[in-house]
Amino acid sequence: MIKKLNILNLSSLSVWNLGDNKGRLSIYLPLVNLTKNGHNVFYLTNEKKQKEGEVEGIKIIKVWMPIRPMMKKGLQIFTGLILYPITVLCYLITGIKISKKNKPDIIYAHTADTALPAFILSKLYGAKYVLRLYGVKPIPQKNLLKKILLYDLLIAINLDADLYILTNDGTRADELLYRHNIKRDKIHFLKNGIDKNWADTITNQKLRKEIAPHNEKIIITVSRLAKWKQVDIILKAIPGLVELNRNIKLVIVGDGIEKENLQNMANNLNINNNVVFVGAQEQQSVVDYLRISDVFVSMNALSSMSNPVFEAMICGKTVIALNRGATGDLIKNNITGILVNDNETNNLPKIIHNILENDYLRKEIGDNAQKYMLNEWPSWEERVNYELNLIETLGF
């Protein structure tokens, strides 16, 4: 009989980062899999939009915060630094309250800012401690100010965990931990999974007609609308594309704090007729938008090794991506996608236009991308089962 584990998760993220059934599968699916295997899963978060309650066995508990970091540009990281001790204290208070009733076997920090309270709780209750990172920002070797602003990440990687689970999202989190002398046998550097059934989905012609009633070519991007996703670079390319080919539509799938700024930018660029903001979509709807598109564009400032890019590739779409981080490990230029170097972003209109005009090359690249994902990438079931095995082995 499998031992039932009490697993206490601490995170500043919501289970679904864009609303119910919208967003981060890499958090949701492993948690659900743990509950299905009979374990008690508690998820503590201070994310304002996350609802408290039970979701498919996951017990979601809100961490009360007397004050929150300001979300305005340039202020969030500074107020986060100032409020860090308060954040640690609030998570400790809530964590102790839960742990008194349900002694934890494993305590799991999902974000750098929750690592310290998770570590302290693990020592208080004799539990195993896991650090889970979904990507990292590079820590400069010589810039003291930038190192100070990444205080929570530096603290997190210098606390001794029993297990490190890192997302291979192109930001090279494994190399960061190696540089800090973390034992390699503790580190598991995992690719996010993909739903391989998406390769066989049928194009929703009704949706395509709604989005492109005049048979426009459809450019799509799917992401959280945050500054570092750099959707603004894509918007700025649209006027040039309109000059080259007026028959285009840009579909922006996602939501976030930059949405209003991006909408204002579209208005100022006079491209409202060429841009459609469809908001955050449930996972099963994202595939419909990907299938109707002609090209997918990602200008992510850190790396384009993200779920939307994987999903576009499994749908057989040509991905045009900024060559940052380890993006080149995923996309081979003009073979499984198109890479844009930093000095080429001004040429993005011409790059997109050229691939839209070349139906044969666009299909060939899309077919290569799909084949690569089918043959070389893990399914979500494989990815989640791997993490489940890691946690159960640690807990037993």
The domains of the chain, with CATH numbers, are 6-193+379-395 (3.40.50.2000), 196-376 (3.40.50.2000)
Give the pLDDT of residue 20. Answer: 61
Tell me, what's the pLDDT at 73?
A: 45
Question: Confidence band (pLDDT; 50, 70, 90) for 71?
Answer: very low
pLDDT at 236 over 80: yes
Alpha helix locations (H) across the chain? 25-36, 76-101, 115-125, 144-149, 151-157, 173-179, 205-211, 231-244, 259-268, 283-292, 307-314, 327-330, 348-357, 359-376, 380-395
Report pLDDT for 190.
94
**Nearest 10 degrees: CA dihedral of 289, 29, 169, 396?**
-170
pLDDT for residue 75: 47
Report the chain's mean pLDDT, rounded to a whole number: 91
> What confidence tens digit (pLDDT) does each residue in 304-347 have?
999 999 999 999 999 999 999 999 999 999 999 999 999 999 99
* Closest C-alpha among 257, 251, 252, 253 to residue 228: 257
pLDDT reading at 97 higher than 60: yes
Q: How many angstroms separate the most distant Cα atoms in the chain?
A: 67
> Tens digit of pLDDT for each residue in 266-281?
999 999 999 999 999 9
pLDDT at 144: 66
Give percent above pLDDT 70 in the chain: 92
Structure tokens at 154: 């530096």
- State the average pLDDT over residues 3-12: 95
Calculate mean pLDDT across residues 56-75.
75
Report how far residue 240's alpha carbon sits from residue 347's, in angstroms, rounded to the nearest whole number. 9
